[in-house]
Amino acid sequence: MVNVGCEHQNHIELIRTLMMMMMDNVMSRCPDMNSNSTSHRSVSPPITSQVSIISGLIRRFCIKLRTDACALSAPSKMFFIVLTASLLCVLTLQTQAENVHGQEKLFLRSMGLSSRPKPSAHSPVPFLLWKMFESSEQRDSCVVSEYGVRGNIVRFIHDEGRLITAPTGRSFYCVRKHLFFNMSALEDVEQLSFAQLEIKFKQDLSHLGRHVFGMDLYRVLKTTLKGVTHESSRKLLRSQTLGHDALASVRFNLTELAESWRQPAKNYGMQLELQASHNLLDDDAFDAKGMRAGVSIPEFSASLVAVSLNPNQCRSRRKRSASYYPPVTPSNVCKPRRLYIDFKDVGWQDWIIAPQGYLANYCHGECPFPLSESLNGTNHAILQTLVHSFDPKGTPQPCCVPIKLSPISMLYYDNNDNVVLRHYEDMIVDECGCR
């Protein structure tokens, strides 16, 4: 005979163990439940593995009680009833978590993202992208008028290259920089319409006075030893002179070259050289210690604007009010209902820049007989409601579904920390109908 106190103690210990496993499993599948956590837990084993672990614990518990086929006392039977209910509850939570995770992956895949982005540094959004986003309601969804090309995706790709020659002392007259732009974010279905390199200077060039700088841009054809440059390993793309009247940024069209970069094996990047003119290299341009005096080569940054077209997400823009709201008159018939999606509620606020949320709406309501014109019913739906009126148990009513949807544009960070402006179809329910 097993001591009841020991049996209860075993129950308590097993429940404690199971609850710890359950909580750890749920938290690992829903890492955003802990908003203060700075790192995600490792992914827990599949549900089948969890069941096996729990079943093993139950078997060990039975052995400890020295029962025959788990022929337990009344308290033990009650314990297993509670245990089974708890297990079913946990399995339901796990299934829901997996379904949510699956839906998230499906939506992220439609955005060309391999996983939820985790921006390491929130780089500033270029002014032009903000301007394009703010006017997206009225623009053609398949044309980027700022560049005069077709497209529905605009990416600002940051430079990942390194500085080859740093400006110090008398070598300050020449700065050499390797430029590298990762084009892996472009999907195979995308058609690259336009790519433009922008060299932006961090200070006004008016201070140059009579001094000028030469700018040479090379395409790298093959890799070389660090710091070693062979003319056979690069090809001159552009050469120009910069003076005090130059703009704050210089742009080069690199569409053809960027297209070749979509094959990683062909992407060796570019080299940018800034060289001081002879009048800046006079002796009076340096002080007694050999350091530069007065004018210096300005600091700069580089980025690549890539415009592409995904034909699967491109339709003509249907103009609509930015503040569209479905009617709020109470009714049980099929019509749009209000649904505001706040990206903060799903934990996406750290990588979606704008909008912070939007009015998506949904369709709900009955499709009663007879169908009125306002319910936008098809001929099939009209006949189905007619048959339903005679045989309500054998034939269901038509369903209330979206029949007209509108697009939105989104600004966000991708998996490479690039800022992206992208157009998405069928995101807002405008009208519902019986189908």
Domain membership of residue 164 (yes or no) is yes
Q: Are strands 335-337 and 357-359 parallel, antiparallel or unpaired?
A: unpaired
Q: What is the pLDDT of residues 43-72, one digit of tens each?
A: 445 555 555 555 565 555 555 544 444 555
| pLDDT of res. 58 | 56
| pLDDT of res. 106 | 84
| pLDDT of res. 203 | 72
Domain membership of residue 39 (yes or no) is no
| pLDDT of res. 351 | 94
| pLDDT of res. 242 | 79
Same domain, 249 and 345: no
Q: What's the CATH number where 364 sits?
A: 2.10.90.10
DSSP-based helix, strand, coil % in the chain, nearest 5 = 30, 25, 40
Domain membership of residue 379 (yes or no) is yes
Same domain, 303 and 395: no
Please give the tally of structural domains in the chain.
2
Q: For residue 221, give both structure tokens.
A: 């054809």
Same domain, 343 and 243: no
Q: What's the CATH number where 275 sits?
A: 2.60.120
Q: Which residues of the chain have pLDDT under 70?
A: 1-94, 96-97, 100, 166-173, 204-211, 225-230, 244-247, 277-296, 316-329
Residue 180 contacts by C-beta under 8 Å, 6 or more apart in sequence?
159, 160, 161, 267, 269, 270
| pLDDT of res. 38 | 42
In the block, which residue shows the tokens 């995770």? 101
| pLDDT of res. 290 | 47
Residues 111, 80: Cα–Cα separation, whole Å: 46
Owning domain of residue 183: 153-223+230-281+294-309
| pLDDT of res. 174 | 79
CB 429 within 8 A of CB 361: yes
Domain membership of residue 121 (yes or no) is no
| pLDDT of res. 275 | 84
